[in-house]
């Protein structure tokens, strides 16, 4: 059986977790958490990075920092994971969904401006499959309309747009270290913050609304409740697991990119014959092989292909019921403009097995099965 996903494991995870346990400091903000934070800051060139318990919570923290209030509108693609939306719904915002581009499946930057009203507060680009959205255009729109940009870079760790790390371009960026993502700690994430004052605010909010971080640095004599907050700190044991992978980030990234290229080479003939469409990586983007997908002709064709693969021991999956058509999406948001691609892509896109250490023979098998299906 070829699994769709296998969580990454590079070797030193257990040793580092043991170190964390033996240090007798397993709560949040221990030495491994700090190492992960610094690694992200250096690698992405962002001012401040803070590990969180998930990308979902990083997005929630970003929505608080962005001061989203009831009645505010937030623009995002409908073709995304529910957490992108929930973070803003929890603050009382109304969601305005727009269509995606057929090539990258990212929010169509040319449709954003038309969706802006006097209530719009933020734009949330989602870097689908670790391929960057058209950030120059999006940040320009945000600047002209005085909007906040929150990048959902859950899938974008180690990927770039015009030489800049995804997650470091907008006001806030959110990473995921869930077990299905390129780098993992089981459940986990990080928030990237551009502004210094907001970074201090974030430290307080994620520490239950207290200034404990300042206390730990010796900047205040005692710590107390200074603002609203919650608990977004992961255990240092989980951070230890993640740090082992961040140390080997290039190795993981290269391995995934190699698998991605193998898929591309072997399936190119099907695209040339007009049977399926393959991912498109714009010139200005350096992707991270988070995902390899094919776009089939129809829902019916995809359903048959999934069955064919499954019967032959291969797990391939699809995702995203478009948020605007889901029960909660109807309640909390509206679709602006025409749904030209969102629903059709959601019905026809199929994700193939992709993980660190995926064997070449397995990729070969998957591709042969797909080619067999189309012949």
Burial of 161-180, coded b for 16+ CB within 10 Å and e otherwise, reads beebbbbbbbbbbbbbbbee
Cα gap 186→181, rounded to integer Å:
9
Cα gap 9→7, rounded to integer Å:
7
Q: Classify residue 135 as exposed, middle or buried by CB count within 10 Å of its CB (0-12, 13-18, 19+).
A: buried
Q: Which of 83, 98, 255, 342 binds ligand PLP (CB under 6 A)?
A: 83
Contact 282, 104 (CB under 8 A): yes
Site membership for ligand PLP, residue 262 (CB under 6 A) = no
Site membership for ligand PLP, residue 116 (CB under 6 A) = no
Judged by beta carbon, residue 35 or residue 105, the one nearer ligand PLP is 105
In the complex, minimum distance from the CB of residue 176 to ligand PLP, in angstroms, rounded to a whole number: 3
Judged by beta carbon, residue 175 or residue 212, the one nearer ligand PLP is 175
Q: Which of 61, 62, 107, 126 binds ligand PLP (CB under 6 A)?
A: 126
Judged by beta carbon, residue 154 or residue 366, the one nearer ligand PLP is 154
Judged by beta carbon, residue 107 or residue 205, the one nearer ligand PLP is 107
* Subset of 42-81 contacting ligand PLP (CB under 6 A): 54-56, 80-81
The token pair that represents 367 in the structure block: 């591709």
In the complex, minimum distance from the CB of residue 375 to ligand PLP, in angstroms, rounded to a whole number: 33
Q: Classify residue 197 as exposed, middle or buried by CB count within 10 Å of its CB (0-12, 13-18, 19+).
A: exposed
In the complex, minimum distance from the CB of residue 181 to ligand PLP, in angstroms, rounded to a whole number: 6
Q: Which residues fall within 8 angstroms of residue 254, CB to CB, at 6 or more apart?
A: none
In the complex, minimum distance from the CB of residue 274 to ligand PLP, in angstroms, rounded to a whole number: 30
Judged by beta carbon, residue 44 or residue 155, the one nearer ligand PLP is 155
Site membership for ligand PLP, residue 87 (CB under 6 A) = no
**Location of structure tokens 């399936």:** 267
Cα gap 349→319, rounded to integer Å:
8
Q: Which of 152, 171, 203, 211 binds ligand PLP (CB under 6 A)?
A: 152
The token pair that represents 32 in the structure block: 């491994």
Judged by beta carbon, residue 124 or residue 370, the one nearer ligand PLP is 124
Q: What is the binding site for ligand PLP (CB under 6 A)?
A: 54-56, 80-81, 83-84, 126, 152, 154-155, 176, 178, 189
């Amino acid at each position: 059986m070829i699994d769709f996903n296998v969580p990454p494991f590079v070797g030193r995870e257990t040793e580092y977790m043991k170190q964390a346990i033996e240090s007798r400091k397993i709560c949040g903000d221990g030495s491994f958490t700090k190492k992960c934070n610094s690694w992200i800051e250096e690698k992405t060139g962002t001012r401040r990075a803070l590990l969180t318990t998930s990308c979902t919570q990083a997005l929630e923290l970003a929505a608080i920092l962005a001061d989203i209030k009831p009645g505010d509108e937030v623009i995002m693609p409908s073709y995304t994971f529910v957490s992108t939306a929930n973070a803003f719904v929890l603050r009382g915002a109304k969601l305005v969904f727009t269509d995606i581009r057929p090539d990258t499946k990212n929010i169509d930057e040319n449709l954003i401006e038309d969706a802006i009203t006097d209530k719009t507060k933020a734009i949330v680009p989602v870097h689908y499959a670790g391929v960057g959205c058209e950030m120059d255009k999006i940040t320009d729109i945000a600047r002209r309309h005085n909007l906040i940009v929150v990048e959902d870079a859950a899938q974008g760790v180690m990927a770039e747009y015009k030489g800049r790390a995804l997650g470091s371009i907008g006001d806030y960026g959110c990473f995921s270290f869930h077990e299905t993502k390129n780098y993992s700690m089981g459940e986990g994430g990080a928030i990237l913050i551009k502004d210094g004052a907001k970074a201090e605010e974030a430290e307080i909010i994620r520490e239950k609304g207290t200034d404990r971080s300042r206390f730990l640095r010796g900047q205040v004599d005692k710590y107390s409740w200074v603002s609203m907050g919650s608990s977004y700190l992961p255990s240092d044991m989980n951070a230890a697991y993640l740090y082992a992978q961040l140390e080997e980030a290039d190795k993981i990234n290269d391995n995934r990119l190699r698998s991605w290229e193998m898929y591309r080479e072997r399936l190119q003939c099907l695209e040339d014959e007009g049977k399926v469409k393959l991912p498109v990586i714009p010139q200005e983007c350096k992707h991270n092989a988070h995902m390899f997908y094919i776009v089939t002709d129809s829902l019916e064709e995809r359903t048959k292909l999934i069955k064919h693969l499954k019967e032959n021991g291969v797990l391939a999956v699809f995702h995203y019921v478009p948020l605007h058509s889901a029960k909660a999406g109807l309640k909390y948001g509206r679709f602006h403009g025409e749904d030209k691609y969102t629903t059709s892509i959601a019905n026809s896109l199929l994700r193939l097995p992709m993980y660190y250490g995926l064997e070449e023979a397995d990729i070969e098998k998957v591709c042969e099965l797909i080619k067999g299906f189309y012949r």
